[in-house]
Amino acid sequence: MEPDLLDDVFEVETEVDFAPSPLHTDSIDFPDTPTDCGPEMMLERRLVVLTSILTSEELYLSELETLLTPMKALKATAGTSQPVLSTQQVRTVFFQVPELRDLHKEFYTTLRARLEPAQGQETQGGTQPPPVGDLFLRMVSQLGVYRGFIDNYESAVEIVRKCTQTDQRFRTLAESMMSCKGSDNSKTTYTFEALLYKPLDRVTKTTLVLHDLLKHTPLNHQDHAVLQEALRISSSFLSGVNEESQCKRAVTLSTGMRRQLIRDGFVVDICEGGQSMRHLFLYTDLLLCAKLKGGSAGKQAYYRFSWYLPLAGLRVHWAQEQELSADLQFRVSTMRDKMFQLRHELRQQGSCSKAQWSRTLERSRRKLQQVELWLLTHSPLLSLELHSPNGKSHTLGFSSMYELEGWREAIEKLKGENLETVPPDLLTLTSSCAKLRMTQHPHLQSLVPASADQALCGTLSVAVHSACGLEQPASLYICLEVDGYRFYDNRAQTHPSLSSPTPQWDEELSLEVDDAQCLRVLCVMQECEKSRQVDRIQGRSSIQLDPTTMLMKWRKYMVSMNQIEVHLSLKYSPHPLVPPSQVPVQQQPVFNIPIGVLAQQEGVLVPHIVRSCIKDVELRGLEEVGIYRISGAASDIQSLKSSFDTNLREAMSRLRSMDVNAVSGVLKLFFRELPEPLIPREQFQSLSDALAIPDLSSKMQSMCSILQACPDVNRNTFLFLLHHLRRVSEKQEINKMTLMNLATVFGPSLVRPPEVVLGQCGPQVDISQEVVVQVQVLYFYLQCSSLPAPITAVPLDTEEEEEITTGGSLH
């Protein structure tokens, strides 16, 4: 590793005051592990405790579901002339309850999946119950959801009591809410107020449960340190609730609601001076960005104010992934190699003596955290732009599209409340962040407890098949993200589908993963807005990865996102990983992307797929009867397409062994799948008018002017193809392909009319006339004997071909 890069890593620690590890437990007295029983007995008791926790969670979920049962009906009546509760009252009564239900539902589902193998059989021969510490740590790290509920509890109870006294309809509902519980589905009757109290009771029970579980977890168990940290967070949260009067700062807003913390987390603050890790707090009416200070070496953590934006009138815009400079790309690559090396060293340090191992392990772990934090701050980021009516703007960077969408959704939801902002006391608000925060540190994989049996290390293959459930046709693509160490790119996406109510992809994507446990799936729609392309996330979901169910075999999944259902298959292939610098850079796709983008990626004016297919046809196919009219085998064409999209060298080697009709078919498919045709759509009417000019000289001048107005890449690729097709027609006595035949084949792909937007009025279009124009335009250009020669930037010759097939540069 370069010395200056290593210096940068250690500078990060000074800038963000990053604590070495969240598993530091000196600040709390934990219960002693019992010594009056052997390890086997302790593990048996531990399994009993875990089973009882699972049963308790099932009951609590049932109670939350019962509490939420009338919410939909009450919302529906709120818009009628005789509402039971107003919209604001419904919002207050059920505030944060759906979020609590989702939090515990995820915890219950994952805990049950972990315990299923151990339930039904006794722990024998020292066999330990499965590790679950990471589940408890993840759950208590989200306990901040309860703070909003607790702050709102008195208001919710007041509404319930008042409406119970004044409205017979609500009284009937509130006094007889039924819940099913237990394996026999026995009925239990609750009052509305009793159900509202359940979450308050749960906060205290969480800490008590962790005490009990830790008590029956041996000191050498991999869960012990993790459960200590979970207990520390839970106890700290409970302490903060008890001191609520000091840290709540109940500011009353214009609507009568109080300012409450809704969400917080670490993000990258992007500005002209660079990129910095910051802690972002989303309150009921504003966003607050602060810098975390202290928190290590016994120092009390506190926050320094950075900036804030009111939510009222805030415009939120998702921007595409930022481009990295060549220098920063090199540094990111170097740091990934360093992280890989440190991770490898940590795995091998178990052979050292205990004292030496402890010191070496801590030192390596600390370095790993520093490198991972640097990468989290400086790797390619997706941007969320925030624009306030007062003229202030800020840009936030996220390494995960899934996380970005979570923040965007939360902000948009609060904006819909139309709250006015009471100017905050910034000093008081910033000071309270240390108590209110739900997230303790940036999400670093090196801080996540190891779970080798549950995590993936190798290649995760994802075959994205199709989607359904769309209300109207749309062009969609699927984005995939995996967690774990980010030695390699952790995100991949399909090509945009054709506009359809049932999009089809049938694409296979591969991700190299280390310590991965979760696959996130996002469905993104592409649409045009004010003549520019806009991407909008339609839904997101996640899949917990179980290596045992997809080991070396495909397993089908159906992922539901709102009303959309996405069908895909997963396969896991475990293998040792190689350093990131030894992994070939993943090739950008070739098909179904704008030709200007493709040419820019390759540094040419005529894309390589066009030149290579044309050269192969001219070598082997000029005397092939029906060349371009007779199609090759569909399987061969799709196979070649996939090769061009994923591995150029493989495509080149396969090109020469394929049937020449399959090669010509791939070239036709490439032009047919361009999002925009080679001749821009806006030129269609001009071309149609030019064809109608009776004077040949004027017609020629007009047609050449239109061609000259096309973008450089489009014009030169079009000229390259025209010269090729003229050479094909020179053999028409053998191949039977005249200029008119070739114009008929290629015209509809190269020249397309403007798209007609559904719902918009426009002139009636005669499709047959469109086809005539498409064919006649190409036929006219093919007849021109004075066409200029195309500029390809890289001449297509033998030397260039050899350079590409041996992995040389395309530039």
Residue 420: pLDDT band with limits 50, 70, 90:
low
Q: Which of 622, 620, 631, 614 is nearest to 733 (CA)?
A: 622
Lowest mean pLDDT among 500-504, 522-526, 716-720: 500-504
Task: Note the pLDDT tens digit of each residue in 624-656.
Answer: 999 999 989 998 999 899 889 887 767 876 787
Residue 619 has pLDDT above 70, yes or no: yes
Pairwise CA distance, residues 202 & 53, whole Å: 12
Pairwise CA distance, residues 745 & 762, whole Å: 28
* Cα separation values, 349 from 232, 353, 361, 485, 486, Å: 28, 9, 7, 19, 21
Beta strand pairing call for 186-190 and 261-271: unpaired
* Cα separation values, 70 from 67, 87, 150, Å: 7, 14, 21
Lowest mean pLDDT among 352-356, 690-694, 708-712: 352-356
Ranges 272-276, 394-398, 796-800, most confident? 394-398
Q: What is the mean pLDDT of residues 751-767?
A: 62
Residue 743: pLDDT band with limits 50, 70, 90:
very high
- The pLDDT, as a whole number, for residue 742 is 95
How many percent of the chain have pLDDT more than 70? Answer: 80
Q: How far apart are the first and last CA of the chain?
A: 29
Q: Which residue has the higher pLDDT, 604 or 773?
A: 773
- The pLDDT, as a whole number, for residue 19 is 34
Name, in order, each residue with C-beta under 8 angstroms of 230's C-beta and a sequence gap of 6 or more. Answer: 133, 136, 137, 139, 140, 210
Task: Note the pLDDT tens digit of each residue in 278-327.
Answer: 999 999 889 999 998 876 555 677 888 999 999 988 999 887 666 677 77
DSSP summary character for residue 576: -
Residue 418: pLDDT band with limits 50, 70, 90:
low
Pairwise CA distance, residues 122 & 95, whole Å: 42
Ranges 34-48, 87-101, 780-794, most confident? 87-101
Q: Which residue has the higher pLDDT, 290 or 170?
A: 290
Residue 745 has pLDDT above 90, yes or no: yes
Lowest mean pLDDT among 122-126, 182-186, 465-469, 507-511: 122-126
**Would residue 790 be called left, alpha or beta, if left means φ above 0 and alpha means ψ between -120 and 50 degrees?**
beta
- The pLDDT, as a whole number, for residue 126 is 45
- Average per-residue pLDDT in the chain? 80
Reading the block at residue 463, the tokens are: 């075959």
Residue 481 has pLDDT above 90, yes or no: yes
What residues are paired with 303 via a beta bridge? Answer: 292
What residues are paired with 315 via a beta bridge? Answer: 387
What residues are paired with 279 via a beta bridge? Answer: 266, 290
Report the half-sphere exposure of 270 (CA within 13 A, side-chain side): 19
Run of H or E residues at 396: strand 393-398
Residue 330: pLDDT band with limits 50, 70, 90:
confident
- The pLDDT, as a whole number, for residue 768 is 63
Return the biggest CA–CA distance within the chain.
106
- The pLDDT, as a whole number, for residue 23 is 28
- The pLDDT, as a whole number, for residue 33 is 40
CB environment 358-397: b (16+ within 10 A), e (fewer): eeeeeebbbbbbbbbbbbbbbbebbbbebbbeeeeebbbb
Q: Which residue has the higher pLDDT, 435 or 396?
A: 396
Pairwise CA distance, residues 670 & 675, whole Å: 10
Residue 274: pLDDT band with limits 50, 70, 90:
confident
- The pLDDT, as a whole number, for residue 483 is 92
- The pLDDT, as a whole number, for residue 39 is 65
Reading the block at residue 119, the tokens are: 């339930």
Q: Which residue has the higher pLDDT, 567 or 185?
A: 567
Pairwise CA distance, residues 688 & 669, whole Å: 25
Residue 808: pLDDT band with limits 50, 70, 90:
very low
Helix-helix angle 739-750:767-783, to 10 degrees: 120
Residue 4 has pLDDT above 70, yes or no: no
Instruction: Note the residue count of the chain.
Output: 811
Residue 394 has pLDDT above 70, yes or no: yes
Task: Note the pLDDT tens digit of each residue in 774-806.
Answer: 999 999 999 998 888 887 643 333 333 333 222
Residue 693 has pLDDT above 60, yes or no: yes
Residue 694 has pLDDT above 70, yes or no: yes
Helix-helix angle 608-620:660-672, to 10 degrees: 150
Residue 615: pLDDT band with limits 50, 70, 90:
confident
Residue 727: pLDDT band with limits 50, 70, 90:
very high
Task: Note the pLDDT tens digit of each residue in 534-550.
Answer: 788 999 999 989 888 89
Pairwise CA distance, residues 15 & 268, whole Å: 13
Q: What is the mean pLDDT of residues 258-264?
A: 83
Ranges 37-41, 44-48, 182-186, most confident? 44-48
CB atoms within 10 A of CB 164: 18
Q: Which residue has the higher pLDDT, 374 or 41?
A: 374
Residue 20 has pLDDT above 90, yes or no: no
764 by Cβ neighbours in 10 Å (0-12 / 13-18 / 19+) ranks as: exposed
CB atoms within 10 A of CB 263: 21
- The pLDDT, as a whole number, for residue 794 is 37
- The pLDDT, as a whole number, for residue 316 is 92
Residue 807: pLDDT band with limits 50, 70, 90:
very low
- The pLDDT, as a whole number, for residue 649 is 63
Residue 14: pLDDT band with limits 50, 70, 90:
very low
- The pLDDT, as a whole number, for residue 361 is 75
Q: Which residue has the higher pLDDT, 351 or 407?
A: 407
- The pLDDT, as a whole number, for residue 140 is 86
Q: What is the mean pLDDT of residues 554-567?
A: 91
Name, in order, each residue with C-beta under 8 angstroms of 118's C-beta and a sequence gap of 6 or more. Answer: 47, 129, 130
The answer to whether residues 324 and 332 touch, using CB atoms and an 8 Å cutoff, is yes
Residue 571: pLDDT band with limits 50, 70, 90:
very high
Name, in order, each residue with C-beta under 8 angstroms of 631's C-beta and a sequence gap of 6 or more. Answer: 637, 661, 665
Q: What is the mean pLDDT of residues 383-402?
A: 91
Residue 148: pLDDT band with limits 50, 70, 90:
confident
- The pLDDT, as a whole number, for residue 357 is 55
Pairwise CA distance, residues 233 & 243, whole Å: 15
